[in-house]
Homo-oligomer: A and B are copies of this chain.
């Protein structure tokens, strides 16, 4: 048995137990102490090191728990068998610095279709609610909540949906989740594998990519001015159709009631058929009242309604929800009911009070007013464009669609010329799921995230860039 005394440094900032532990560990890893070799008894070592027995016990405990040594009854401690090529824990290279977050080129004027205006968000209110909720008396909020979301919030959502969107459901049908993407991940578990899903073309690319990541087969369905064509849908071998009836992205089409009934009829044609209604920014409408939801007229449990507060309140509020028809609800409870909620109960509680106390409605009205001003300014500023462009999708949402009448001009040209004027515009073609036969040059102009002066200047630049 070798003498350990040498290595002990009483002046070291490491405690003695740690020094003993580390020394023996290194001896073992270094091969100086070999497999099966017997270690001194704790008493012997304690004596030889002039340290308390506990110190050695503690060091041995650590070596035991990490599996460097083992205790054999009444025989003492022995070195365990280790993989010879035990890797050293690699040094922590400060590689953090190296990692670059690629920064996108910034434009002076970015007509991003999903841009939002947070300027009128009632941070004060949000803070106050937040503050009142985070009291010691609310410690239960720090415990894990209902997988479907807290009942109070679901009840509030049900009332809100019924009043504002004509959705008919019970809190039991509502599943709250952190964003639409997550809800679609859950839906995959309910709908199963190898699903063939119908989508409009162009459509919401994110949903398309998500379906692809599910290895779902996406069939694109022909559109007309009323959205997805039911007659074409009937010819497709699909069991699921993904639609945005109140405001199709990116075309901005609102699906008329007649077409909605046709889609529902298609779904009723087979037990396994469902419609996913993505009620994408239905909150913002500039003509007439909001269109009631497809779910509201569905009498046979064919519609999976998906909505989110990320757009109406703030993208960072990761709270979306879906309303499951009875058949899928049953399956959810059986197969997915155990998935833990992805939304903090605190956020759920804040949102619940934000809605219940009427702040949400007030905020919505403010933003509607705000976006209407921008919407009207857009239309006014775009008047000169009407020679060269047809403007559509302006009745709702936060972007407009400009279709170029001049067949010789390409989207690329328009985007490029805008870019040269430091203005970013978005080509419709980016929203095509599958390449389509030569289409017109179509540009999307989002105005939600721009101020009125920015819209003013941005459109003026486009006017010059595109030579109106």
* A287-302 CB contacts (< 8 Å) to partner B: 287-289, 291-292, 296-299
Most buried by B among A256, A297, A317, A318: A318
Beta-carbon contact of A257 and B316 below 8 Å = no
A210 interfacial by beta-carbon distance below 8 Å: yes
Footprint of B on A, CB under 8 Å? Answer: 21, 58, 61-62, 64-68, 80-83, 86-87, 89-90, 92, 95-96, 98-99, 101, 116, 118-119, 121, 123, 126-127, 130-131, 134-136, 139, 141-146, 151, 155, 158, 162, 166, 168, 170-172, 177-182, 185, 189, 193, 206, 209-210, 213, 215, 226, 254-262, 265, 287-289, 291-292, 296-299, 310, 314-318, 335-336, 338-347, 395
Docked pose: A365 CA to B287 CA in angstroms = 59
Interfacial chain B residues near A119, Cβ < 8 Å: 139
Copies of this chain in its oligomeric complex: 2
Q: A83-B261, A178-B318, A182-B185 are known contacts; what are 6 more A-B pairs with Cβ within 8 Å?
A: A66-B256, A87-B299, A89-B166, A96-B171, A118-B143, A189-B213
Q: Tell me if A65 and B344 are in contact (CB < 8 A).
A: no
The reply to whether A83 and B265 contact each other, CB–CB distance below 8 Å, is yes
A145 touches B288 (CB 8 A): no
Kindly report which residue of chain B lies nearest to residue A315, judged by CB atoms: B144
Which B residues are CB-close (under 8 A) to A62? 287-289
Residues of B within 8 A of A335 (CB): 213
Q: Is the CB of B92 within 8 A of A162?
A: yes
Is B256's CB under 8 angstroms from A316's CB? no
Return chain B residues, CB-CB under 8 Å to A315.
Answer: 142-144
Query: Given the complex of chains A and B, what is the CA–CA distance between A258 and B259 in angstroms?
Result: 66
Select which of B158, B265, B296, B336 is within 8 A of A96 by beta carbon. B158
Are A68 and B257 in contact, with the CB atoms below 8 A?
A: yes
Whether the pair B318, A341 counts as a contact (CB closer than 8 A) is yes
Q: Can you list 28 residue pairs at the A/B interface with Cβ under 8 Å? A: A65-B254, A65-B256, A66-B288, A66-B291, A67-B256, A67-B257, A81-B258, A82-B261, A83-B261, A87-B297, A98-B170, A101-B151, A116-B143, A118-B139, A123-B139, A130-B134, A143-B315, A144-B315, A144-B316, A177-B342, A179-B342, A180-B340, A181-B342, A182-B182, A209-B338, A318-B340, A342-B342, A344-B344
Which 3 A-B residue pairs are closest in the complex by CB-CB distance? A67-B256, A62-B288, A178-B342
In contact, A61 and B288 (Cβ under 8 angstroms): yes
A343 touches which of B135, B178, B255, B338 (Cβ 8 Å): B178
- Give bound CA distance, A144 to B162, whole Å: 28
- Chain B residue with the shortest CB-CB distance to A162: B92
Question: Which listed residue, B288, B299, B346, touches A316 by the CB 8 Å rule?
Answer: B346
